[in-house]
Amino acid sequence: MVHHQNKAIREGDNPDLTAERVTGTFDTHSMAAQIYNSEAHARRRREITEIIAKRPELHDTKPFPFMTREEKILESSRKLTLITKHMNEIIEPNNSNEMFHLNNEVLGIEGHPMALHGIMFIPALTAQASEEQQKKWLTRAINREIVGTYAQTELGHGTNLQNLETTATYDVATQEFVLHTPTITGLKWWPGNLGKSSNYAVVVALMFIKGKNYGPHTFMVPLRDEKTHQPLKGITIGDIGPKIAYNVTDNGFLGFDHYRIPRTNLLMRHTRVEPDGTYVKPPHAKINYSAMVHVRSHMITGQAIMLSYALTIATRYSSVRRQGQIDTTQPEVKVLEYQTQQHRLFPYIARAYAFVFAGAETVKLYERVLEEVATGNVSLMADLHALTSGLKSVVSHYTAQGIEQARMACGGHGYSQASYMSEIFGVAVGGCTYEGENMVMLLQLARYLVKSASLVKTGQSSKLGPLVAYLGAKSDSTSLIDRTPTTGFAEYVKTFQHIARRQTLKAADKFFGLMEKGEKRPIAWNKSSVELNRASRLHTRLYIVEAFVRRVEEVADPRLKEVLTDLLHLHVNYELLDMSTYALEDGFVSSSQLDYVRDQLYFYLAKIRPNAVSLVDSWEFSDQELRSVLGRRDGHVYENLFAWAKASPLNKTDVLPSVDKYLKPLMESARASKL
Ligand SMILES: CCCCCCCCCC/C=C\CCC/C=C/C(=O)SCCNC(=O)CCNC(=O)[C@H](O)C(C)(C)COP(=O)(O)OP(=O)(O)OC[C@H]1O[C@@H](n2cnc3c(N)ncnc32)[C@H](O)[C@@H]1OP(=O)(O)O
Ligand SMILES: Cc1cc2nc3c(=O)[nH]c(=O)nc-3n(C[C@H](O)[C@H](O)[C@H](O)COP(=O)(O)OP(=O)(O)OC[C@H]3O[C@@H](n4cnc5c(N)ncnc54)[C@H](O)[C@@H]3O)c2cc1C
């Protein structure tokens, strides 16, 4: 048997797809180790996939698009129960990476009844509950004796936390907090799994003590009777209805009617209220926002994975789909031969790699900050907040764009739910909104950039943190791209730094200038906000490029290094063209340099072409995880599309009741009236 570099090759596969895999120049298992940050983790992913493949009870009983929402919820609860029962046979206990993979394989991306339990409820209790509180709730939560969510957003307020309407008023006499929803707009609205699944929630409410508003605080709140699952007295609760996607998750509403909880249900790791109502403030005003920072830090990787789902589907399909000719004397070509198709897909393949590398760095920083905050050191919280705010916005935005490009690259079949593209898009695009609407989060990063710009302007560049140190550096007078013999990326990085620096300083100038002219700070901020967000995007895109460069520099295997270097070339040239307005406007890059950048882009599209399928195969998504007929590993698309169509519930009978009831009588009466 021949050992190929691409480990996805199997006998009997579509030969067009096998031919693509044979040309791969690198070992896809080794690339998976880069993507998943260690050989051990990549291997464990494969082992988990194999275990699941052998357990039919963990497979979908029918394709998700053929199920109603109720059926999907039932099916996902069945599988959730099974994986909870057999968890220790499948994954290492408490390994969140393995749990994430297990969920993606078995439950899929549409959510499940305990999605928020793992993503926010447990992280909130871990970071914000005191040790005593953790003994009481965290162990029960980890054991899944109770199911919880994170209830913050309201019908009338999501972004602006200071104006939430839900109040928690301290009653000194009974040592209780009274939770209350004063209006319809104060109903909690959106929290995942709040509607039907959870019996507890970490609720965010404005805390009032003796008439004083202490702002948003987090409380552990029982919602339903633990035995009967009936809502408790004083609680109004339900599902908010179907959404664009993510419909297995019961996003919910919640109202409180003077609902009492003990004082000790305020999460008190960092903040305390004494029995007499004395408030002990936390070491950082935003420390209670930790569950949001947790998701923002991890969702970068989650988004990269969803982008890669779509790219895997589109790249594999483009290798088996033949349409038209390039040379009219030759047979029809694979659509992947078209430069336009390559240009549509390959830069996003590069972005997906860039995002997953940036995501890994973000999680590392998050874990460091989590450890430091636990010991009272809050010095890096602002940096982490700025970084994750920018990354969640930029990455979710390009992920949604990339998925949509991948869908269109599949032509008509991309529009069928057999491709699963619409669900992948719908779930991923939610990331532009949840955990902070993208524009709002870019503005959070902009606050950090403006402060940094002000240090530069006042000659205090030495005080700049490592993420923004480049703002204090001097630019060359022009970019040296194409003017130096070096094949490295230093000139590109310098050019991105120049662009981000110039835009940041310019936007900050606009903001400070407006204030100097007498505008009040918030008005000046609003009038500068488009320019400020441009700076945030450019800063974040620079960070992503740098994270990509750092990773490529670390890679030792020469075959991997070569293909990753090709991808990085593609990435920097594509990004620079995409932001060429900024590069051209002060003459830092000339139009002839941009011609060079364009040529480089086309060169690397062609160079990557033989590795395209191997680059997407390296993510090692199983068919069960992808849930896409078009993206099947074996490339047998057409016969399976036909089988899928035949399985459509509409094809259970030859004549639908709607035809019997309406269309037949309509046609009959039309015929009769002609007589
Ligand atoms: C291996 C595992 C892989 C896992 C992959 C996981 C994938 C995950 C997929 C999940 C899928 C679906 C789940 C969806 C779940 C969704 C949940 C939610 O959406 S929960 C609700 C989220 N809501 C928000 O994000 C609201 C956004 N709004 C805010 O965050 C705030 O209101 C904000 C920040 C806009 C303003 O806050 P506030 O009004 O309090 O601020 P001020 O104006 O008073 O002060 C600003 C000041 O504070 C600093 N700040 C703000 N936040 C933080 C923070 N978190 N940390 C540190 N500092 C913070 C800010 O920088 C300003 O500082 P300044 O010095 O004044 O400039
Ligand atoms: C799939 C999904 C899952 C969710 N899960 C949860 C959950 O589990 N728990 C939870 O509590 N919430 C959850 N949410 C809610 C989510 O966090 C909020 O919808 C999100 O934070 C945005 O807030 P909003 O809806 O109030 O938008 P708005 O703030 O009303 O945004 C509307 C528009 O106003 C703009 N805007 C608002 N404020 C400003 C500003 N200061 N400056 C400039 N522009 C501004 C925005 O950019 C946007 O264009 C979820 C939402 C979704 C879609």
Q: What is the DSSP annotation of 405-467? A: HHHHHTGGGGGSGGG-HHHHHHHHHGGGTTTS-HHHHHHHHHHHHHHHHHHHHTT-GGG--TT
Q: Which tens digit of pLDDT belongs to each residue from 312-357? A: 999 999 999 999 999 999 999 999 999 999 999 999 999 999 999 9
For 516-569, the DSSP string reads HTT--HHHHHHHHHHHHHHHHHHHHHHHHHHHHHHHHHH---HHHHHHHHHHHH
For 390-421, the DSSP string reads HHHHHHHHHHHHHHHHHHHHTGGGGGSGGG-H
**According to the model, what pLDDT value does residue 116 have?**
98
Tell me which of 213, 355, 444, 452 to substitute to probe ligand 1's pocket, judged by most ligand atoms within 8 Å of the beta carbon. Answer: 444
- Mean pLDDT over residues 509-525, rounded? 98
Ligand 2 centroid vs 133 CA: distance in angstroms? 30
Q: How confident is the model at residue 483 (pLDDT cuts 50, 70, 90)?
A: confident
Please identify which residue in the block is written with the tokens 């996607």: 245
Q: What is the rounded CA–CA span in Å between residue 637 and residue 628?
A: 10
Q: For residues 411-440, b (16+ Cβ closer than 10 Å) or e, as one string?
A: eebbebbbbbbbbbbbbbbbbbebbbebee
Give the range of the structural domain holding residue 653, as residue numbers without chain letter: 642-675
| Of the candidates 349, 274, 292, 301, the residue with the CA atom closest to the CA atom of residue 568 | 349
Quick one: 176 and 86 in the same domain?
Answer: no
Q: Which tens digit of pLDDT belongs to each residue from 54-70? A: 999 999 999 999 999 99
Q: Which residue out of 75, 105, 435, 620 is catalytically annotated? A: 435
- What is the signed CA dihedral for 131, 135, 141, 142, rounded to 10 degrees? 90
> Residue with the nearest Cα to atom 16 of ligand 2?
434
Q: Which tens digit of pLDDT belongs to each residue from 266-323? A: 999 999 999 999 999 999 999 999 999 999 999 999 999 999 999 999 999 999 999 9
Tell me which of 202, 434, 442, 528 to substitute to probe ligand 2's pocket, judged by most ligand atoms within 8 Å of the beta carbon. Answer: 434
Mean pLDDT of the chain: 97
Report the residue count for the chain.
Answer: 675
CB of 363 sitting under 6 A from ligand 2 = no
Can you give 91-120 as a three-state secondary structure string? Answer: CCCCCHHHHHHHHHHHCCCCCCCCHHHHHH
Helix pair 521-554, 339-374: axis angle to 10 deg: 100
Q: Among 243, 262, 282, which residue terminates a domain?
A: 282
Domain count, the chain: 4
Q: Is the sign of the CA dihedral 166, 171, 174, 175 positive or negative?
A: positive
Quick one: 221 and 77 in the same domain?
Answer: no
| Of the candidates 505, 598, 510, 494, the residue with the CA atom closest to the CA atom of residue 546 | 494
CB 129 within 8 A of CB 220: yes
> Residue with the nearest Cα to atom 9 of ligand 2?
191
Quick one: 373 and 239 in the same domain?
Answer: no
Q: What is the rounded CA–CA span in Å between residue 618 and residue 203?
A: 41
At residue 360, what is the residue type?
A: A
Identify whether 139 is part of a domain. Answer: no
Q: Is the sign of the CA dihedral 204, 210, 211, 215 positive or negative?
A: negative
Q: Among 282, 312, 343, which residue terminates a domain?
A: 282
Which H or E run includes 207? strand 200-209
Angle at 644 between CA 642 and CA 645, to 5 degrees: 65
Quick one: 242 and 300 in the same domain?
Answer: no
> Residue with the nearest Cα to atom 27 of ligand 1?
436
How many other C-beta atoms are found inside a 10 Å radius of the C-beta of residue 480?
A: 15
> Residue with the nearest Cα to atom 8 of ligand 1?
299
pLDDT at 658 over 70: yes
pLDDT at 12 over 60: yes
CB of 156 sitting under 6 A from ligand 2 = no
pLDDT at 1 over 60: no
- Mean pLDDT over residues 518-525, rounded? 98
**According to the model, what pLDDT value does residue 307 have?**
99
Ligand 2 centroid vs 190 CA: distance in angstroms? 10
Quick one: 412 and 540 in the same domain?
Answer: yes
261, two tokens: 């909880």
Q: What is the rounded CA–CA span in Å between residue 334 and residue 324?
A: 8
Q: Among 282, 303, 320, which residue terminates a domain?
A: 282
pLDDT at 451 over 90: yes
Identify whether 425 is part of a domain. Answer: yes
CB 641 within 8 A of CB 378: no
CB of 111 sitting under 6 A from ligand 2 = no
CB of 162 sitting under 6 A from ligand 1 = yes
Identify whether 355 is part of a domain. Answer: yes
**192 marked among binding-site residues:** yes
CB of 218 sitting under 6 A from ligand 1 = no
Residue 206: beta bridge partners? 167, 216
Q: Which residues contact 534 (CB under 8 A, 6 or more apart)?
A: 503, 507
> Residue with the nearest Cα to atom 56 of ligand 1?
385
- Mean pLDDT over residues 532-553, rounded? 98
- Mean pLDDT over residues 22-51, rounded? 98
**Listed range (26-35, 448-457, 483-492) with the worst mean pLDDT:** 483-492
Ligand 1 centroid vs 161 CA: distance in angstroms? 9
**301 marked among binding-site residues:** no
- Mean pLDDT over residues 158-165, rounded? 97
Ligand 1 centroid vs 264 CA: distance in angstroms? 25
Quick one: 573 and 432 in the same domain?
Answer: yes
Please identify which residue in the block is written with the tokens 């503005």: 443
**According to the model, what pLDDT value does residue 2 have?**
63
CB of 116 sitting under 6 A from ligand 2 = yes
- Mean pLDDT over residues 26-41, rounded? 98
Known catalytic membership, residue 437: no
Identify whether 627 is part of a domain. Answer: no
Ligand 1 centroid vs 288 CA: distance in angstroms? 10
pLDDT at 487 over 80: no
Angle at 180 between CA 178 and CA 185, to 5 degrees: 160
**According to the model, what pLDDT value does residue 484 have?**
74
148, two tokens: 């919880």
Quick one: 382 and 416 in the same domain?
Answer: yes
Q: Which tens digit of pLDDT belongs to each residue from 595-632? A: 999 999 999 999 999 999 999 999 999 999 999 999 99
> Residue with the nearest Cα to atom 64 of ligand 1?
447
CB 256 within 8 A of CB 441: no
Ligand 1 centroid vs 290 CA: distance in angstroms? 8
Q: Tell me whether 0.85 is exceeded by the ipTM.
A: yes
Q: What is the CATH number of the domain that holds 101?
A: 1.10.540.10
Q: How confident is the model at residue 485 (pLDDT cuts 50, 70, 90)?
A: low
Identify whether 311 is part of a domain. Answer: yes
